[in-house]
Amino acid sequence: MAKRSVGISWIEEPEKTCNDKNCPFHGTLSVRGILLEGTLIKKKMNKTAVILHEYLVYIPKYKRYERRRRKIHAHLPPCVEVEVGDKVVIGECRPIAKTVSFVVLGKKKS
């Protein structure tokens, strides 16, 4: 399939190609909504990864921030090469499964 841009200039397209219809680079999946970054903690499911997203929430009563975290299931296309422990960027997309509404776009540049 032909390679296409996902519309985000600082995301590099992967070198490998795939035939996955839910790939934002080689398929028909559109990325819209929010972009998040997190740590890839599991990728044992078939074409799905678990991302740990950590963020801060302001508590007005105490005038301080608290740390929160959540696990997000994201589709992992075969052309994106990431390993457990990598910092990744994920983008919101249409629901692919019951709990999957994000797709892994690639490694975060350091």
State the average pLDDT over residues 76-83: 93
* pLDDT of res. 11: 77
Number of independent structural domains in the chain:
1
Of the candidates 97, 53, 107, the residue with the CA atom closest to the CA atom of residue 75: 97
pLDDT in tens, 9-67: 777 788 888 899 999 999 999 999 999 999 999 999 999 999 999 999 999 999 999 99
**Is residue 30 in some structural domain?**
no
Asked whether residue 5 carries a pLDDT value surpassing 80, the answer given is no
pTM equals 0.89
Predicted local distance difference test score (pLDDT) of residue 77: 94
Tokens 């692919």 belong to: 96
Domain range for 89 is 35-107
Radius of gyration from C-alpha coordinates of the chain = 15
The CATH number that applies at residue 66 is 2.40.50.1000
CA dihedral over 21, 88, 110, 58, signed as positive or negative? positive
